Amino acid sequence: MNPLLELINHGQSYWIDNLSRHMIVSGELKKRVTDEGLRGITSNPSIFDKAITKSNDYDGQIKELTKVGNNVKEIYDALTVKDLQDACDILRPVFEESEGLDGFVSLEVSPYLARHTTETMDEARRLFKAVNRPNCLIKIPGTKEGAPAIEQMLYEGININITLLFSIQNYENVARAYTRALERRLKEKKGIGTISSVASFFISRIDVLVDELLQHRIIPGGDSRKYKKASDLLGTAGIASGKIAYQSFKKIFSGPNWEKLEKAGARVQRPLWASTSTKNPNYSDVMYVEPFIGPSTVNTMPEQTIAAFADHGKIVPDSVEENLEAARTNFGQLAELGIDIDYVTQRLEDEGIQKFIEPYDALLKNLEEKSQKFQ
């Protein structure tokens, strides 16, 4: 069996980390759903920048919107909302078949709002209403400022994909924000069975930065025994972080308090493994898929990782539970070498926000240029 199709038998759904109008109109997306087991989609400003600026697929709608006087931000909203609606409709059978567990498509709030709670809530409400599909997830960064917005939006019944999670603490914060939102709704006798959320924990970016810092501790051509500790830790921090986060997930979504919510119809907030493409060519191209198979999880992969796993991926049941002792000692070993994981994750969060701001700005600039041609 295709390893992708087998994932669902082990409690994991695979989503694609990409969305474009070409995927929608060409039938590619529907084929992935009906024939290849795709169960969801994630998007972000970088993905839309590539989709819109590197094709002419959106020019007709841009021209129409320009002629009726829409500004650049309104054009961006209209383009992305249209793609989200169409993608949600294609995924709707998955949403219904899974009784609301899968079949979701994610749309992110402006990256400029990552440090602004109230403005994030306003935008989340606006986008969720604009898409007007039950299988839409609004993406909100799991920053200190984003956490209260996440809780409030879930309380209001808006499905949320929490993004840019790098630290265990931030993951635990947003997982508890989810349970608090459900508890608030249950206390007020509001339904909780239709509230959905995933928490996107970013994996490979952790290794990119930690490996860079580890390389600073290794002298090329030096005594390999002397620098063995640093060498042995290369490519381990991301996997360790994800495995520890999964243990936190199991703890938070168990026990009497959670069982009360579950009895009332609540479903768990699944960990979603994000940033799962391998950045280092010396590492396996399925390095961030094979170790993270386990119940109640999602792995969102770019197309090349999906193809690689379909071709030669290995299914190890509950692999996310393996090598826990090594995962638990990883941060301490890094600390012995002067690498502070809290520094790493905060820096990655800040850089992650910037990595979305830059393509967002580039896209708006490109839309401005295109709209001027159509005036």
Torsion angle defined by CA atoms of residues 276, 286, 22 and 366, in that order, rounded to the nearest 10 degrees: 40
**Residue 315, C-beta contacts closer than 8 angstroms, at least 6 positions apart:** 3, 6, 7, 10, 293
Hey, how many other C-beta atoms are within 10 angstroms of the C-beta on 310?
16
Q: How far apart (Å, rounded) are the C-alpha atoms in residues 89 and 134?
A: 10
- 20-57 b/e (C-beta count within 10 Å ≥ 16 → b): bbebbeeeebbebbeeebbbbbbbbbbbbbebbbeeeb
Selecting among 73, 139, 279, 314, the annotated active-site residue is: 139
139 tagged catalytic = yes
CB 108 within 8 A of CB 131: no
Contact criterion met (CB below 8 Å) for 328 and 247: no
CB-CB contact of 49 with 359 (8 Å): yes
Give catalytic residues, as residue numbers: 139
